[in-house]
Structure 1
Amino acid sequence: MSSLFTEELQRIINSFIIVIILFTISYIITSIIFPSTEKKITKFERFVFIWLIWDALIHLILEGSFVILSLISTVEESKGILAELWQEYGKADSRWLHSDPTILSVEIPTFIFCGPLSLYIIYLIIINHSTRHYWQMILCTCEIYGCWITFCPEWITGNKGLDTENLMYFWIYLLFFNGIWVIVPMILMYQSWKVVTENDRLVKEFKLKGQKID
């Protein structure tokens, strides 16, 4: 019993360490590209940059590993540290253990499209490109919709695959780790909406003044 508990605890610790390492990498990369003394971007933009790097790493490494494991076999039958991470998460949502078609249908485009798109938006921020907020809104829409499609079928069918009784599984695994992919994209969408509407207002003002906008 003690050995089993130790193994379970180690798996939980390893899973959190992986997530923390990816976030640390995101912070370090941001600090290299935009040093703390650099006044080129605001604190909020620095947060967005860190988030987008972390977002890309999560999509490409963690969710990418889930897709590969699920297409080759199943998470439950797989070995390795990333398989163990998903096996741990599968205690909260058992669909992730058995190559559930709904989950795979969400995760495949997330891995293939959202991961690279996050990297592309990072590039657009670095070069200060005008299309950055267009692509940022698309990414955020995909992520929010992905969360909805992930959980809506479960809600409709009575949460058969979800463990809502265990406090850690419910509040941390299900609500926190999925909730941040709703809350942060909504914040970024609001940022993009403000930029787009402000730019539209300025263009209309210039047109009213009879100035030519290239």
Structure 2
Amino acid sequence: MDSPAPPSLSPVAIFSLLACGVQVLAAVLLTHRYGGRSSAQDRWVLLWLFYDVIVHLTLEGPFVYTSLVVCCLHFQEGPKADSRWLVSDPTIVSVEILTVVLDSLLALLLIHAVLNDKYYRHFLQIALSVCELYGGWMTFCPDWLLGSPHLDTSSWLHLWVYLVFFNGVWVLVPVLLLAQSWFCLRSLHTLRTDKNHISRKNM
């Protein structure tokens, strides 16, 4: 007996993936426009931050608005992988309110801090990264504890693209930003300690 053919990409799925590509392109253009004088490492950080803000405001923002005002959202492709996005699940909506408002604001402030080399850059970077990781945890952990009844992993597109890749990016990048902040703050502390040590020797 022949195995069933893998599902093909629907027009809605193709449109959704193209929209994601447009979001990435917008982030690249903004990084090129505003981050030209930044270091190579900071340009990657800015690329992520611009993309982060764009996604929060253009994808999750309409979801929050529609959930609170209309109480339904049927035009997105992503809910096919996680049905809670179709019924305005209170946990998801609560997390997304925090994400759209707080995370977007932190990301915009962090963009300013990176571009202008502000002293509070790593404080914001740590705060934003922790918020992103917390949002991901609260999005999936409650469903995992119930046996993942709302997650559809029957399709490679739903499992590997929508669930693993797109959500994995919001785990990997914040972890990398936390590591960057850790090493930068450690270097600053080491530099200050060395200066204090030299000052004591010269007294």
Same-fold call, TM > 0.5? yes
| Aligned twin of 1:183 | 172
Shift of 1:187: 0.6
CA distance in structure 1 between the aligned counterparts of 2:102 and 2:93, rounded to whole angstroms: 14
TM-score (norm 2): 0.90
CA distance in structure 1 between the aligned counterparts of 2:32 and 2:160, rounded to whole angstroms: 31
Shift of 1:192: 0.7
Does the 8 A contact of 1:59 with 1:115 survive in 2?
yes
One of 191, 195, 203 as aligned partner of 2:184: 195
Shift of 1:75: 3.3
| Aligned twin of 2:154 | 165
Shift of 1:154: 0.8
3-state DSSP of counterpart to 1:209: helix
- The number of residues matched between the two structures is 194
| Aligned twin of 2:104 | 115
| Aligned twin of 2:130 | 141
Structure 1 residues not aligned, in runs of 5+? 77-82
CA distance in structure 2 between the aligned counterparts of 1:34 and 1:91, rounded to whole angstroms: 36
Does the 8 A contact of 1:114 with 1:139 survive in 2?
yes
Deviating above 3 A after TM superposition, structure 1's stretches of 4 or more consecutive aligned residues are: none
CA distance in structure 2 between the aligned counterparts of 1:167 and 1:22, rounded to whole angstroms: 23
Shift of 1:158: 0.6
Does the 8 A contact of 2:35 with 2:46 survive in 1?
no
Are residues 1:53 and 2:50 paired?
yes
Shift of 1:207: 2.0
| Aligned twin of 1:22 | 23
One of 70, 81, 84 as aligned partner of 2:75: 84
CA distance in structure 2 between the aligned counterparts of 1:113 and 1:192, rounded to whole angstroms: 20
